[in-house]
Amino acid sequence: MSILVVGSVAFDSVKTPFGEATDVLGGSACYFSISASFFAPVNLVAVIGDDFPQAHLDLLQEFPIDLRGLQKVPGKTFRWAGEYGFALNEAKTLDTQLNVFESFKPEIPAGYRNCEYVFLGNIDPVLQRDVLSQVSKPKFVACDTMNYWITSKLEELRKTLAEVDILIINDAESRMLTGQPNLTKAARTICSWGPRILVVKKGEYGVAMYTDGSIFGAPAFPLEEVFDPTGAGDTFAGGFIGYLAKRGRLDDETLRKAVIYGSVMASFNVEDFSLNRLKRLKHSEIQERYRQFQALTHFEADHSL
């Protein structure tokens, strides 16, 4: 079944200790869409300016991504510039130009309104709820957010959280949202606000998923070269939601597999700048890395004590 995603399409300029890239394709909706499209068709809702080149649209259309919800308006496309040190877990934002994204008002095309799976990328929580008001009874809704909304619109964010099934954020956001340094306690608090599933991304330290009565922990894939972490979180969300949509189930076994597929997709994404690695990714490589994740984490039962 199709997935509806609402988020940003951007030009990113990124510096890492390993190189730099200027005005390359980025944005949460791009990373999410291409990643998810390996698992299920995606309907994309976002905004671009009239400076957005046809080549990028052509790239997106090489994947099963529907672009009828991609508004093109006069002005410049959203731009972000950031830098990473050797501690690749955290970006230093150098410049943000919202441009056409500043007045973005998501309009869900009629053909998208029956999507069963919805991912609300990191946008104003008021707009996230506005999107939900335009769709009819999705099977599940997942969302992301960031420190900016946690500090500036906490009340609105809490209202959005009351309407979603799955929240996917990083460990710092989880602590900030609850004021609770212990992640396990923070998870319990967040789940009492609405989401029945919380997925906490910890960058190079992996992922923890909290559901009612179960915690799942998975390490990140041990790479010798992390080239550019930009978009890793949205690429994770794409693999995670993509697999859930493909299976059409939310049981514990399926959710755990989805976390691994999300981790697999993120591990590929950081191997190159922008969407360069995802562009040339093959299904067989995804499947092979899933197997490597099993080899990485497996241990046998023991009853010797």
| 260 binds its own copies, rule: CB under 8 A | yes
Helical (H) or strand (E) element with 186: helix 183-192
Question: CA-CA-CA-CA torsion for 279, 284, 289, 293, nearest 10 degrees?
Answer: 140
Site for its own copies in 17-46 (CB under 8 A): 38-39
Angle at Cα 108 formed by Cα 40 and Cα 160, nearest 5°?
A: 85
214 binds its own copies (CB under 8 A): yes
Q: Which of 14, 197, 218, 266 binds its own copies (CB under 8 A)?
A: 218
Q: How far apart are CA 284 and CA 278, in angstroms?
A: 13
Shortest Cβ distance from residue 222 to its own copies (Å)? 5
Phi, psi of 206 (to 5 degrees): 95, -155
Of residues 58 and 225, the one with the C-beta less far from its own copies: 225
Measure Cα distances from 124 to 80, 105, 106, 127, 301 in Å. 17, 10, 11, 5, 46
Is 64 one of the binding residues for its own copies (CB under 8 A)?
no
Longest dimension (CA), the chain: 70
By C-beta, is 93 or 304 nearer to its own copies?
A: 304
Residue closer to its own copies (CB basis): 152 or 184:
184
Token pair, residue 6, equals 């609402």
Q: How far is the CB of 173 from its own copies (least distance, A)?
A: 16
Binding residues (CB under 8 A) for its own copies: these are: 38-39, 86-88, 181-185, 188, 202, 204-206, 208, 214-220, 222-226, 246-247, 253, 256-257, 259-261, 283-284, 286-287, 290-291, 294-305
